[in-house]
Structure 1
């Protein structure tokens, strides 16, 4: 049996702007995982079981080298794409395809199945690609692992930045510059997969970030799941009508995140916190201009409580629900802050930064 896992993630800064080519964001990988177990199968039908989908079992078979499932019973879009992309790469490396059973488990949702917004679709994609690469004895760098998982994820969801995939691959704190997804879509039609994986992707940058030793990340969950795709689509409509205001938002966000990246490089918590507050203001203005509820009343309460305790706080990701974050000096009284969150019906999440000690350097 092969077991691989991939961590969930949270956005720290740069949300919305990162969907535009070359724009930076900061993300962090967390110690909650999607775990994938893969076992060789001797029979003619493979099985995929995922607790993300209430233990639904999906059977699959091969028709030549193609993986065939009944689409009418298939809620497993990211899983299937991860298998298909990785096996296409496997064939290009001269390996013969085999049958297998796949079991997937996830820590990234609450006990009652509600999503925390930790990037479960990206994590499951990365975990499957990692497991299949081991199964077929393919050695891949972090960069190739990212590209394979990004292609699979992009095929299902067209409007994301793929920063969540990068966080699941690299672990820790990262600065991520989004690549040109239109270029990717065009190249998928023009070149074979091996060539595409080996090409430099325009604007793509992933930089692991050092962190100040006194930095503490606190995460609060509002209990309300949010649809990132839907919120990004709404901002896209605003972009089309108010191009000048949107371009100004992009410029301001890029400057803010670049300063924050420098704060990490120089391990200056004060500079990081200052830019967290700037980023919150930029997102608040974007929400006001677009009519999109990025910072909900409960997320606003989360931020107010954290700021009063000496932290710098903002929404994480697309907002509209899910999680808020606070970056605080670990010498502060964080327990009192968390008690106040709980009193406001905000659930502190017992999550920590995950650093992948086994990841392969590029």
Structure 2
């Protein structure tokens, strides 16, 4: 029997720059940037039928067996790695190809001592697993096909997730992203299969590469408190906010901020971009005051205030409630950058040594 060589793929984490909460609705835009912390997935041949999954975040490896196209065995049911393997296996089955015994090994720099930074580790591991398993099994997939498989996998677990993290992890760099209609996508896959779903246009979906900001540097601060994006988004919708006048205002304002920020990035207008980041902070604060989600913690407020005092702009990245905040500061003023980092540290915010990841970082 021929032994296939192991395949290694990695995917970067991400940060939301603008458009949080709005982007969960189909066709609504957000800006994201991939960061140079990665999930790396190595796929090799397994010693027995099924899939052996190991991770540097888990005490032991878990072996799963196939049953009716799904992997069974002990572990967390909502496992993005399992969902990714199952989705690729579904595509193989439609093409009449077997799934060989697999060993899937995962390492992460999106965590420290087992704690997540809020840099999109679930999305990155899904994208990297899809890419590694597909390549090991001989599938040649475009970035778009890998993204679609990853979104199919995650939508099975949480159909509310926008997929923005998957897009940033797939394409790298700075992107403008609009979420597809996940209910449509899941229904299409159920009725017509995965291959047809990969070929069919997805309503609402759009992706556009963006240039990095001119004369501005991205600084990232970690609050030390993990947050659950899915819980915060679900909490917002449980408050009967969706469909209200406030909801409509938030969506329209968010869309205007993202459009103006995209224009500023493409024009190299640093000051214009800073203005939009400040507006995004204000709009998230207005939402938080009205709905009471807890988006702004004391640490995130201190992070934003320190950056704005230095002439920059800052906001929570993602759903807030902890995790990370971002700041854009004048790259030509290292003294101001150092002062902001000092103020963050005094407020209990840890400056993270991360930078935007370049485009096409997965292969």
Q: How does 1:150-169 map to 2 (within 5 A)?
A: 150-169=151-170
Given the alignment, which residue of 91, 94, 117 partners 2:93? 91
- Structure 1 distance, partners of 2:242, 2:100, is 51
Count the aligned residue pairs: 356
**1:155 Cα offset (Å):** 0.6
Q: Secondary structure at the match of 1:48?
A: strand
Whether the 8 Å CA contact 2:49–2:100 is kept in 1: the answer is no
**1:94 Cα offset (Å):** 3.7
Structure 1 residues 359 and 347: alpha-carbon distance in aligned structure 2, compared to 1, 3 A threshold:
closer
- RMSD across aligned positions (CA): 1.7
- Structure 2 distance, partners of 1:359, 1:230, is 29
Q: Secondary structure at the match of 1:73?
A: coil
Structure 1 residues 190 and 75: alpha-carbon distance in aligned structure 2, compared to 1, 3 A threshold:
closer
Unaligned runs of 5+ in 2: 1-5
- Structure 2 distance, partners of 1:225, 1:31, is 20
Whether the 8 Å CA contact 1:239–1:246 is kept in 2: the answer is no
**1:69 Cα offset (Å):** 2.2
For each residue in 1:210-238, what CA deviation from the matched residue of structure 2 results, as whole angstroms up to 9, or x when unmatched?
12341210000111111111110111123
Q: How does 1:102-251 map to 2 (within 5 A)?
A: 102-111=104-113, 113-240=114-241, 243-251=244-252
Whether the 8 Å CA contact 2:10–2:362 is kept in 1: the answer is no
- Structure 1 distance, partners of 2:149, 2:50, is 25
Query: What is the TM-score normalised by the length of structure 1?
Result: 0.94
The equivalent of 2:352 in structure 1 is: 349
Q: Secondary structure at the match of 2:61?
A: strand
The equivalent of 2:53 in structure 1 is: 48
Q: Secondary structure at the match of 2:328?
A: strand
Q: Secondary structure at the match of 1:139?
A: coil
The equivalent of 2:80 in structure 1 is: 78
The equivalent of 1:15 in structure 2 is: 20
Unaligned runs of 5+ in 1: none
202-211 or 234-243, which moves further after superposition?
Answer: 234-243
- Structure 1 distance, partners of 2:273, 2:267, is 10
Q: Secondary structure at the match of 2:239?
A: helix
**1:241 Cα offset (Å):** 6.8
1:69 aligns with 2:72: yes
Given the alignment, which residue of 59, 69, 93 partners 2:63? 59
For each residue in 1:221-277, what CA deviation from the matched residue of structure 2 results, as whole angstroms up to 9, or x when unmatched?
111111111110111123447611111110111011111011111111111110000
The equivalent of 1:27 in structure 2 is: 32
330-339 or 86-95, which moves further after superposition?
Answer: 86-95
1:36 aligns with 2:37: no
**1:89 Cα offset (Å):** 1.1
Whether the 8 Å CA contact 2:85–2:129 is kept in 1: the answer is yes
Query: What is the TM-score normalised by the length of structure 2?
Result: 0.94
**1:45 Cα offset (Å):** 5.0
- Structure 2 distance, partners of 1:239, 1:298, is 28
**1:200 Cα offset (Å):** 0.4
- Structure 2 distance, partners of 1:209, 1:249, is 24
Structure 1 residues 346 and 68: alpha-carbon distance in aligned structure 2, compared to 1, 3 A threshold:
closer
